[in-house]
Amino acid sequence: MSTDILIPTVGESVASGVISKWLKADGAFVKRDEAVLELETDKVNMEIVAPADGILRHAAKEGDTVNVGAVVGRMEAGGSPAASAASVASESGSATSVLAPPAVDTVKTSDQAANGEIRATPLAKKVAAEHGVDLSKVSGTGAGHRVREQDVIDFVKGKSPAPAAAASTPTKAPAPAPSGPRATTIERMPPIRQRIAQRLVEAQHTAAMLTTFNEVDMTRIMALRAKYKESFEKKHGIGLGFMSFFVKAAANALVEFPMVNAYMVKDAEGHPAVQKHAYADIAIAVSTPKGLVVPVLRNAERMSFAEVESGIKELATKARDGKLTLEEMQGGTFTITNGGVFGSLMSTPILNPPQSAILGMHATKNRAVEDPDKPGQVAIRPMMYLALSYDHRMVDGEGAVRFLVRIKDQLENPERILLEV
């Protein structure tokens, strides 16, 4: 008796995914609810768990694209952890085995290659799939000319010779594979990267996007943070960063400028309409090894500084660990992205559809500006450029500029954030 492992429904807009990694080996004993594979979709990454105790049998390979509802494996009843470990070691040809490898009939091996069957270790197949290598072109150095992982790696680096041609068939020697500084590789674009590319192009093709700039003097925020960060962390158990100031300033400004916080939609009759929001669900762009994701802080206008900082930390941790849910990445009404953490001095952020605006933060640099306390005199102040990209179909230039100035005024006078004035 066996139980199928199915790809579950992730969300209405997710129809398929890619098996990025099997967490348990074929033939391993797995307990119910234990994670067996990682599924990568264009929205989120998730772990698929075993539906029952038993021996795991793979029905799909790493790198395969599978649809929702597809059977990717099964759990066979019976077995035990000890027996499973022995089975896995036997199937993988463990290097610790005391048995000598059996002699291989070279004629049989040649026949297998002719029939399209390539003798290769599982790890060699995985590496070949990752680099788009045809295993039939790789010379194996393992027992019975079996292709090993190192053989594939050497082939990619251009160190492995192509298979010898038949003596009776004269052929032109193939060009050597590029190596060294001119080596090239081709890797499949992850689903999430494909989705990011699609949405960014969509934003530029469908929105009348424009960017306005301003600068903010960070002196008072930096002084306030330095003065209270230790007591803040002691009381709330979370560090006080700059992002909470920007989130609260943006949330206050969104209340005053509702069109910046709105969507362009279609009404029941298909006519253009405006969907306004009585709340500020602010998406925070987070960089991960697989691409940029934008988890959402719900009702940011109601949050305290400590709640904002805790929320950002939790979402960022989930994002980097690939644990974000689809719900945590949907429904934002406004986005903040911080290129300054990577050293960006100025940029024009791209809209996150269907939102009407996105705020770009940048690196804080000391610059010579007019001293705000002594007009006419020059002072060195920590300054940050701000960029607001917006959809001109929804937001007029005046509204966008005033919105950004509103944020600037609050950041340069942090008491305004708390008093919401």
pLDDT of residue 342 exceeding 80: yes
| pLDDT for the residue numbered 83 | 54
- Which pLDDT does position 158 carry in this prediction? 72
Q: What percent of the chain has pLDDT over 70?
A: 83
- For the sheet containing 16-22, what is the strand order? 45-49, 35-40, 16-22, 65-67
| Catalytic residue list | 392, 396
* pLDDT score for 173: 54
Q: How far is Cα 131 from Cα 153, in angstroms, rounded to an integer?
A: 9
* CB proximity list for 296: less than 8 A, separation 6 or greater: 281, 282, 283, 284, 315, 328, 329, 330, 331, 332
DSSP state of 300: G
DSSP secondary structure letters along 332-360: -SEEEEEGGGGT-S---PPP-TT-SEEEE
216-224 average pLDDT score: 95
| Average pLDDT over every residue of 139-147 | 73
Residues 6+ apart with CB under 8 A from 339: 347, 349, 360, 361, 362, 363
Tokens 């290769």 -> residue: 120
> In whole angstroms, what is the distance from residue 296 CA to residue 332 CA?
6
Whole-number pLDDT of residue 156: 79
Q: Is a pLDDT exceeding 80 seen at residue 119?
A: no
Contacts of 337 (CB under 8 A, 6+ apart): 284, 285, 349, 358, 359, 360, 361
State the pLDDT at residue 227: 94
- Let me know: does 387 contact 349? Beta carbons within 8 Å: yes
From the number of C-beta atoms within 10 Å of its C-beta (0-12, 13-18, 19+), residue 76 rates as: middle
Mean per-residue pLDDT over the chain, rounded: 82
pLDDT digits (tens, 9 = 90+) for 226-272: 999 999 999 999 999 999 999 999 999 999 999 999 999 998 888 99
Confidence of residue 112 (pLDDT cuts 50, 70, 90): very low
How long a stretch of residues is the chain?
421
| Residue of 122 and 336 predicted with greater confidence | 336
Give the pairing of strands 35-40 and 16-22.
antiparallel
The pLDDT assigned to 243 comes to 94
- Residue 89 in this model has a pLDDT that exceeds 70: no
Q: Please, which pLDDT band fits residue 81 given cuts at 50, 70 and 90?
A: low
From the CB of residue 106, how many other CB atoms can be counted at a distance below 10 Å? 10
Distance CA(90)–CA(417), nearest Å, equals 65
- Give the pLDDT mean for 21-31: 88
**Residue tagged 């038993």 (tokens):** 54
What was the pLDDT predicted at 103? 40
Q: Which band of pLDDT confidence, cut at 50, 70 and 90, is reported for residue 58?
A: very high
